[in-house]
Amino acid sequence: MAQDFLLPDIGEGIIECELVEWLVNEGDRVEEDQAVADVMTDKALVQIPSMHNGVITRLYHKKGEIAKVHAPLFEIQPDDEVAPKPVQEVAGTPAPEATTGEIVKEFLLPDIGEGIVECEVVEWLVAVGDEIQEDQPICDVMTDKALVQIPAIENGVVSELFTKKGSVAKVHAPLFSYRCEGEVSAVTAPVVESAQQTAPVANVDNTANNKKAIASPAVRRVAREMNIDLTQVNGSGKNGRVYKSDLLAPSAPVVEASTNSTTDTAMVPTTVPSGDLAANHVASVEPIRGIKAAMARQMVDSVSTIPHFTYSEEIDLTDLIALRGGMKDAYKEQGVKLTMMPFFIKALSLAIKEYPVLNSQLTNDGSELQYFSQHNVGMAVDSKVGLLVPNIKHVQNLSIVDVANEVTRLTDAARAGRLAQDDMKHGTITISNIGALGGTTATPIINKPEVAIVALGKLQKLPRFDDAGNVVARQIMNVSWSGDHRVIDGGTIARFCNLWKSYLENPSSMMMAMS
């Protein structure tokens, strides 16, 4: 069956482009990764490649026309799909002319972020048989960066969901199918019914056509996971097309798995390991996917390429807590949630003005140090989908109230798993509030390619001496910095931390610095 190729994301913020040149014609055979078209965005000329080996069956735009991102660009008949025979050959009657009615389309998972090739289906928001509207959310998927909602591109009725909740979906592979109004050919329901009456399925060997098996990409993926040879399956569909239900039939032939099998671990039964591990009685195995997998890669990359060093200090927050206590009720009436975090973030930005090296990044080859004018301060959030680090943009230009509102927005979005990808990009320095869960000190890992991160310990009421030598109760927090020793030395981090500390211990000095 021919498939629509949807124009992928070709740059941040780009929603359309001009078709500059077709590099193929209808009827041409193309190979995977062969250039099909040149398109012009408002930034550059981009070449669009084919995703499959096959034959181009339709070009949806003329040269010079505007093509929309995530809309069909061309149609292709992949090599692994065999076109069904015309109905007149099966039923012995002429094929009727195309009529207006329902057709079934497959929705291909679009590009959902630069470099992302797969994602996990977290939740289906519709079921088979549900009516859907254009732009209606269909499902939530988790990439290694964020939770993304996939919308419908037109009205219709859901006919099949190709991926189960918790399974991995591939970009540009079918995600679901739906029925919609459109032009249909002779292979639609009424004619197919008469064809089935003329040639009963029970009398047909439907494996005959499956030497080149007829099945959708989604069915082929399931067959690979189950080690089933599609050419040996008695397909129940037209011309022997294999459906998922055919793979689950008791007669479905299972191929012996080879030592090179690449079946999904989720399909492999868990066995108790031999040796010393057997005593642990492994109860279950959890695949590391999505954000957890991304965090694992990021942390390994950071500690293996950045020489970390840690610097700790304690900060007396007694006066700042008193200031905040006198302000929070008034701001609450205005709908502003004033926690301590906005003060930490704003004070950090003020200190960066004096020590801009804390807001820099090394280039990949380590030959240059780039300084950033924007203070995009990240904050680690312990969400239901794992550790997320959204960042507040342009803190140098924001007031305490502005920062407070952004802290609330990003924290709520992160805990609900609804962060926009832009909220996760372009951070320049990070704060981790590990003390909210307990603990006084930490050795945080730098959020590469940043050069510094600070972990806040828990707030403690501790005895300290005042200027007169009297013991008084003060509100003390320990903070732990990790720095990139290729860029920052111990003296720099100490002086920077002292300035940051002075703003927090003497709130009036922070207010003066903001004016």
Reading the chain (515 residues) residue by residue, the pLDDT tens digits are: 788 888 887 765 677 888 989 999 999 999 877 889 988 876 667 888 887 789 999 999 999 899 988 889 999 998 864 343 333 333 333 333 434 457 888 899 987 766 678 888 988 999 999 999 988 889 988 877 677 888 888 899 999 999 998 888 988 889 999 998 764 433 333 333 332 332 333 333 444 334 446 655 456 666 766 778 777 888 776 567 677 677 776 566 654 433 333 333 333 334 444 445 445 678 888 777 767 777 888 899 999 999 999 999 999 999 999 999 999 999 999 999 999 999 999 999 999 999 999 999 999 888 999 999 999 999 999 877 778 899 999 999 999 999 999 999 999 988 877 788 789 889 999 999 999 889 999 999 999 999 999 999 999 999 999 999 999 999 999 999 999 999 999 999 999 999 999 999 999 999 999 97
- Cα-trace Rg, the chain: 30
Q: How many Cα atoms sit within 13 Å of 60 on the Cβ side?
A: 15
Q: Which two tokens stand for residue 408?
A: 């609330």
Largest separation between any pair of C-alpha atoms in the chain: 107
Tell me if 153 is assigned to some domain: no
Dist CA 310 CA 481 (whole Å): 5
On whether the CB atoms of residues 8 and 69 are closer than 8 A, the answer is yes
CATH of residue 8: 2.40.50.100
Q: Which of 23, 46, 79 is the last residue of a domain?
A: 79
Tell me if 504 is assigned to some domain: yes
Dist CA 170 CA 96 (whole Å): 37
Q: How many CB atoms lie under 10 A from the CB of residue 106?
A: 19
Q: How many domains does the chain have?
A: 2
Q: Domain containing 44: what range?
A: 1-79
Q: Phi-psi bin for 113: left (phi > 0), alpha (psi -120 to 50), beta?
A: left
Question: Does 489 qualify as catalytic in the annotation?
Answer: yes
| pTM for the full predicted model | 0.56
Tell me if 480 is assigned to some domain: yes
Q: Which of 62, 79, 96 is the last residue of a domain?
A: 79
Q: How many Cα atoms sit within 13 Å of 54 on the Cβ side?
A: 24
Predicted pLDDT of residue 276: 53
Catalytic residue among 70, 172, 308, 485: 485
CATH of residue 305: 3.30.559.10
Tell me if 102 is assigned to some domain: no
Dist CA 440 CA 30 (whole Å): 61
Dist CA 46 CA 69 (whole Å): 13
Tell me if 125 is assigned to some domain: no
Task: Match 């990240």 to its residue by tokens.
Answer: 378
Dist CA 487 CA 361 (whole Å): 9
Task: Match 């009529």 to its residue by tokens.
Answer: 99
- CA-nearest of 276, 341, 326, 298 to 450 is 298
- CA-nearest of 173, 175, 156, 153 to 164 is 175
Tell me if 147 is assigned to some domain: no
Tell me if 149 is assigned to some domain: no
**Please, which residues have CB within 8 angstroms of residue 53's CB and are 6 or more apart in sequence?**
29, 30, 31, 32, 78, 79
Tell me if 179 is assigned to some domain: no
Predicted pLDDT of residue 172: 85
Q: Which of 79, 111, 129 is the last residue of a domain?
A: 79
In terms of Cβ atoms closer than 10 Å to its own Cβ (0-12, 13-18, 19+), residue 295 is middle
Q: Which two tokens stand for residue 157?
A: 């009725």
Dist CA 306 CA 486 (whole Å): 8
On whether the CB atoms of residues 123 and 144 are closer than 8 A, the answer is no
Q: What angle do CA 140, 415, 417 make, to 5 degrees?
A: 15
Question: Does 422 qualify as catalytic in the annotation?
Answer: no
**Please, which residues have CB within 8 angstroms of residue 443's CB and are 6 or more apart in sequence?**
308, 310, 455, 480, 482
